[in-house]
Amino acid sequence: MANIIRQRNGLTEPAQTDFDLRIEQTIRPKQLEDYIGQSQLKETIRISLDAAKQRSEPLDHILLYGPPGLGKTTMALVLAAEMEADIHITSAPALERPRDIVGLLMALKPGSIIFIDEIHRLNKVTEEILYPAMEDFALDRTLGKGHMTKTLRVPLPKFTLIGATTKAGSISSPLRDRFGIVYRLNFYTIEELVQIVMRSATILNIQITGEGAEAIARRSRGTPRIANRLLRRVRDYVQVRRGPEEGIEVSSAEEALDLFEIDRMGLDPTDRLLLSKIIESFGGGPVGIETLAAAIGEDIRTIEDIYEPFLMQAGMLQRTPRGRMVTPKAYQHIFPGVTPPQSSALQQSLPLEPLS
Ligand code: ADP
């Protein structure tokens, strides 16, 4: 049985209560077969898992990147279960002092997994301690001071580091190069999200029709965590407004989602504010991220990590060298039936910058 050692600092799951976390743990897939979607990643992982098991060795170090809620932590837990290994869950902000990472490494058992969330935020000293640990399974300890300094190499048990980040572009190349598998998680399709909603509904004992699940899936921004949260909020709505015995149907799901102000494209009020601000105050863009963040009163990191990736994927926002721009699709979504002004930046097509 895999042992889970969780180090929490509140940053990893910012918007969640302990109750939410408990529910999340209940519905989290435990085995690779239950992990829905991301088929390419699963195939790569399956091969690595089988090879590692055959050789009785730990898995290669793995870097998973992509927006929050797409299943990075879940994949790490699935891997620990599949390898029957201990997993230490932590995040970069909890590894501020050298002794944090040293303590973690010294506590490892052969085959243990370390999961570091937000790995792009590791400081230089911690990163440098990790290099020999990842490469040679060794810890270089410095003894003495001044010209008497000596480095002592302490062997570590073989382990696997799984790093997760929303920003692969912010990881230093020496760290990135030490991962054997680097994989970007994709947003989920509607069909995959329907499966996730149906599976969670079964576990949580919620009655729901396939169409009801699809209504939720369509407004979940391609993200399993959001799909699961909406499922529970819609269940609450149906219970209160329709009665405790009622299941979720398409009409009640849509009624609830309209009430929560999540529109048919899955955009929430902040997405719509962001787009309409670019259109109304900045002529459709381009506008710099700092200016935009100040204009809508949102944190730059939240815009970059949560709002932008989905709006770009939905074809509503472009990231250009000169700033953020909305697309004609966004214009039509925010102002249905109105043609974008000819002079506006909306008519131009600028080169796309890759997502970091
Ligand atoms: P991340 O670490 O990328 O922020 P998590 O792994 O915490 O995301 O996933 C959030 C929730 O979404 C999990 O509790 C899990 O229930 C659900 N989930 C994520 N990926 C999947 C998946 N592939 N199949 C089913 N449920 C998933």
Helical (H) or strand (E) element with 136: helix 124-136
CATH number at residue 93: 3.40.50.300
Phi (first) and psi of residue 237, to 5 degrees: -60, -50
In the chain, how many H helices and how many E strands? 15, 10
Going by DSSP bridges, is the β-strand pair 87-91/62-65 parallel, antiparallel, or unpaired? Answer: unpaired
Taking residue 321's Cβ as centre, other Cβ atoms within 10 Å add up to 9
Pocket residues: Cβ below 6 A from ligand 1 = 24, 27-29, 35-38, 68-74, 164, 196, 224-225, 228
**Separation CA 286–CA 255 (nearest Å):** 36
Closest approach atom of ligand 1 to CA 199: 25
User: Do both 298 and 235 map to the same domain?
Assistant: no
* Inter-CA distances, 108 with 80, 101, 119, 126, 268, Å: 14, 11, 19, 17, 43
Q: Which domain range does residue 308 map to?
A: 269-349
User: Do both 305 and 242 map to the same domain?
Assistant: no
In a domain, 354, yes or no: no
Q: Which of 164, 184, 233, 128 is nearest to 12 (CA)?
A: 164
SS3 of 93, please? helix
**Separation CA 273–CA 340 (nearest Å):** 17
**Separation CA 112–CA 59 (nearest Å):** 10
Closest C-alpha to ligand 1, atom 11: 225
How many folded domains does the chain comprise? 3
Domain ends where: 211, 239, 259? 259
Give distance in angstroms: CA of 25 to centre of ligand 1.
10
CATH number at residue 202: 1.10.8.60
Q: Of the residues 121, 219, 221, 225, which is catalytic?
A: 225
Domain ends where: 235, 259, 283? 259
Q: Of the residues 73, 90, 126, 165, which is catalytic?
A: 73
Give distance in angstroms: CA of 299 to centre of ligand 1.
24
Instruction: Using most ligand atoms within 8 A of CB, pick from 22, 23, 36, 74 the residue to mutate for ligand 1.
Output: 74
Q: Indicate the DSSP class of residue 305.
A: I
**Separation CA 34–CA 37 (nearest Å):** 9
Q: Of the residues 117, 167, 319, 327, which is catalytic?
A: 117
pTM for this one? Answer: 0.88
Closest approach atom of ligand 1 to CA 185: 3
Domain ends where: 230, 259, 288? 259
- Give the bridge partners for 319, in sequence order: 324
Q: Of the residues 12, 28, 72, 218, which is catalytic?
A: 72
Query: Does 99 qualify as catalytic in the annotation?
Result: no
Residues 243-249: contacts with CB under 8 Å, at least 24 apart: 246/207, 247/206, 247/207, 247/208, 247/209, 247/212, 248/201, 248/206, 248/207, 248/208, 248/209, 248/212, 248/213, 248/216, 249/208, 249/209, 249/211, 249/212
User: Do both 240 and 273 map to the same domain?
Assistant: no
**Structure tokens given for 268:** 């929430």
Query: Does 218 qualify as catalytic in the annotation?
Result: no
In a domain, 248, yes or no: yes
In a domain, 141, yes or no: yes
Closest approach atom of ligand 1 to CA 76: 6
Predicted confidence at residue 151, as pLDDT, reads 85
Buried b (16+ CB within 10 A) or exposed e, 204-228: eebebbeebbbbbbbbbbbbbbbbb
User: Do both 171 and 237 map to the same domain?
Assistant: no
In a domain, 355, yes or no: no
In a domain, 45, yes or no: yes
CATH number at residue 339: 1.10.10.10
Query: Does 117 qualify as catalytic in the annotation?
Result: yes
pLDDT tens digits in sequence order for the chain, 356 residues long: 566 665 433 222 334 677 777 888 889 999 999 999 999 999 999 999 999 999 999 999 999 999 999 999 999 999 999 999 999 999 999 999 999 999 999 999 999 999 999 999 999 999 999 999 999 999 998 888 777 888 889 999 999 999 999 988 899 999 999 999 999 999 999 999 999 999 999 999 999 999 999 999 999 999 999 999 999 999 999 999 999 889 999 999 999 999 999 999 999 999 999 999 999 999 999 999 999 999 999 999 899 988 999 999 999 999 999 999 999 999 999 999 887 776 455 555 444 444 43
Query: Does 73 qualify as catalytic in the annotation?
Result: yes
